[in-house]
């Protein structure tokens, strides 16, 4: 069993099970501004959906809606049958998201951040330490375990925030442009990790401008319309 499934239950991929993540005519408007044009999709458990489209098309807004950070002003969204709601413990348990920069503590090292999050989701200290080490290793930043967040390059920060998102269990993973600031080798490491998560049953929705990443990992694609 590999690091990301060890000791955790994951929903097995079932191509016949439709609709773990669904949007039906979901839209976000703010006054006259359209942040997300009307969008519908139906993503089965264990599949990876790549959301593409030009700058300003609404990709981040769609992820924010799925994460419960923004309410759709029209239409309906369901994740595991639940309306996205950050205040719901069941929803928080099901969904992990990396949308923008997460809050980081200046006085905690990378290893301490990862162990803190892993233990907060049920690992004991030994499991949390192993999981943190394995993740940092898989992302090629294991030698940075004792650094502080402000001592990282921008690409290293991107890898670390991915690790921080992946160190907790989830059924659904939402990622906004995980390729940002990564060189081709590190992008391949991230693609490999996401493939392994998908094979273990995690459902992934990612917004991306990287054809390399999308071609490698996407089962399904959703193109959001042209920016206004």
CB of 209 to ligand ATP, least distance (A): 6
Nearer to ligand ATP, 97 or 135 (CB): 97
Burial of 131 by CB count in 10 Å (0-12 exposed, 13-18 middle, 19+ buried)?
A: buried
Among 37, 46, 53, 68, binds ligand ATP (CB under 6 A): 53
**Judged by CB under 6 A, which of 16, 32, 33, 106 binds ligand ATP?**
33
Segment interacting with ligand ATP, rule: CB under 6 A, options 53-61, 111-119, 142-150, 166-174: 53-61
Q: Which x/- pattern, by CB under 6 A, does the window 184-223 give for ligand ATP?
A: -----------------------x----------------
| Helix 184-199, helix 125-138: angle, nearest 10 | 130
- Burial pattern 7-29, b for ≥16 Cβ within 10 A else e, equals ebebbebeeeeeebbbbeebbbe
Which residues are CB-neighbours of 115 under 8 A, at least 6 positions away?
125, 128, 129, 132
Question: Using CA atoms, how far apart are residues 218 and 212, in angstroms rounded to an integer?
Answer: 10
Rule CB under 6 A: is residue 30 a binding residue for ligand ATP? Answer: yes
Structure tokens at 38: 């009307």
**Window 55-114: residues binding ligand ATP (CB under 6 A):** 55-61
Options 27-35, 98-106, 149-157, 211-219: segment touching ligand ATP (CB under 6 A)? 27-35
DSSP letter string over 61-88? HHHHHHHTSS--SEEEEEETTBPP-TT-
Least distance (Å) from ligand ATP to the CB of residue 225? Answer: 10
List interacting residues with ligand ATP (CB under 6 A).
30, 33, 35, 53, 55-61, 207
């Amino acid at each position: 069993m590999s690091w990301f499934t060890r000791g955790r239950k994951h929903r097995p991929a079932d191509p016949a099970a439709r609709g773990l993540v669904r949007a039906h005519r979901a839209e976000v408007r703010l006054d006259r501004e359209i942040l997300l044009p009307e969008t519908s999709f139906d993503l089965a458990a264990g599949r990876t959906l790549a959301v593409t489209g030009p700058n300003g098309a609404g990709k981040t807004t769609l992820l924010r809606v799925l994460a419960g950070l923004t309410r759709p002003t029209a239409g309906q969204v369901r994740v595991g049958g639940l309306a996205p709601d950050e205040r719901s413990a069941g929803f928080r348990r099901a969904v992990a998201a990396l949308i923008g920069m997460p809050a980081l503590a200046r006085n905690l090292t990378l290893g301490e951040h990862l162990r803190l999050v892993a233990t907060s989701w049920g690992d004991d200290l030994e499991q949390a330490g192993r999981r943190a080490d394995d993740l940092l290793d898989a992302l090629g930043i294991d030698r940075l375990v004792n650094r502080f967040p402000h001592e990282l390059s921008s690409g290293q920060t991107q890898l670390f925030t991915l690790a921080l998102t992946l160190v907790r269990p989830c059924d659904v993973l939402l990622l906004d442009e995980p390729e940002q600031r990564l060189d081709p080798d590190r992008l391949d490491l991230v693609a490999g990790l996401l493939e392994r998560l998908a094979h273990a049953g995690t459902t992934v929705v990612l917004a991306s401008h990287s054809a390399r990443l999308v071609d490698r990992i996407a089962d399904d694609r959703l193109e959001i319309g042209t920016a206004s």
